[in-house]
Amino acid sequence: KQEVTQIPAALSVPEGENLVLNCSFTDSAIYNLQWFRQDPGKGLTSLLLIQSSQREQTSGRLNASLDKSSGRSTLYIAASQPGDSATYLCAVQARGSQGNLIFGKGTKLSVKP
Amino acid sequence: NAGVTQTPKFQVLKTGQSMTLQCAQDMNHEYMSWYRQDPGMGLRLIHYSVGAGITDQGEVPNGYNVSRSTTEDFPLRLLSAAPSQTSVYFCASSVRGETEKLFFGSGTQLSVL
């Protein structure tokens, strides 16, 4: 059974720092991996989607990498800002799952001014 | 473009009551799904649909029914509410499910007393 783990569960950094969030998964047979952002009381917003054949995706200050063979992904946030404070969730889509995602429990990020 | 719309945003039920959580999307997405989010458990898939007239069970389907009579709508029915169904419910959709980004609604916070 696919399991997704995110470490750390919570992270607090000063504004301007570069940071890395980690995600690991147990079964490498995936279609893709997505990183989401969730603000308190709100829904999830997809940040980056990495197909299984890709190594990384970039959007602005965000860069996500995927190492399928080792079952790991990282989300790199450059020059963090207080507006980046949110919970970041990682999710994998298994082959044959018809679009269903398996989520990690998230990393709660706090960026202090 | 409204995206994925969920109603109501908040609901309080008594044990044994039934209700329907509404979900509608205006993006002509074939794939729709329902997740529940509980503290310490992450998001778990309840039911999903890959097109009108087609539904299937996810990880935690017991106590819930769904139907998909149109492409736009995917309601979730609680047959006889139980305190264990207290949770935040999210509806999500994507173009075809596999290899596509998932778009989430803003959620319904349900309390069962």
Backbone φ and ψ for A73, nearest 5 degrees, come out as -140, 150
What average pLDDT does this structure show over B63-74? Answer: 96
pLDDT tens-place string over residues A17-48:
999 999 999 999 898 999 999 998 889 999 99
pLDDT attached to residue A113: 95
What DSSP character marks residue A104? -
pLDDT tens-place string over residues A54-85:
999 999 999 999 999 999 999 999 999 999 99
Backbone φ and ψ for B96, nearest 5 degrees, come out as -135, 0
pLDDT bucket at A13, cuts 50 / 70 / 90: very high
What amino acid is encoded at B3 in this protein? Answer: G
In the predicted structure, residue B41 carries a pLDDT above the cut 90? no
pLDDT bucket at B97, cuts 50 / 70 / 90: low
Taking the CB of residue A95, how many other CB atoms lie within 10 A of it? 12
In the predicted structure, residue B49 carries a pLDDT above the cut 80? yes
In the predicted structure, residue B43 carries a pLDDT above the cut 80? yes
How close B51 gets to chain A, by Cα (Å)? 11
Share of chain B above pLDDT 90, in %: 86
In the predicted structure, residue B64 carries a pLDDT above the cut 70? yes
Question: Pick from A32, A41, A43: which is nearest to B105 by CB?
Answer: A43
- A19 beta partners: A77
Tokens representing residue B90 in the block: 């999210």
Question: Pick from B42, B48, B103: which is nearest to A103 by CB?
Answer: B42
- B96 beta partners: none
Residues of chain A contacting residue B45, judged by C-beta atoms under 8 Å apart: 100-101
Tokens representing residue A90 in the block: 């990682």
In the predicted structure, residue B70 carries a pLDDT above the cut 80? yes
Question: Pick from B35, B98, B103: which is nearest to A98 by CB?
Answer: B98
Measured CA to CA, the distance from residue A4 to residue A6 in angstroms comes to: 7
- Pairwise CB contact (< 8 Å): A31 & B98: yes
Measured CA to CA, the distance from residue B14 to residue A43 in angstroms comes to: 25
Measured CA to CA, the distance from residue A81 to residue B57 in angstroms comes to: 40
Interface of B with A (CB under 8 A): 4, 31, 33, 35, 40-45, 48, 50, 56, 58, 90, 92, 94, 96-107
In the predicted structure, residue A97 carries a pLDDT above the cut 80? no
Does A103 lie at the interface with B, CB-CB under 8 angstroms?
A: yes
- A36 beta partners: A46, A89
pLDDT attached to residue B26: 95
pLDDT attached to residue B92: 94
How close A99 gets to chain B, by Cα (Å)? 4
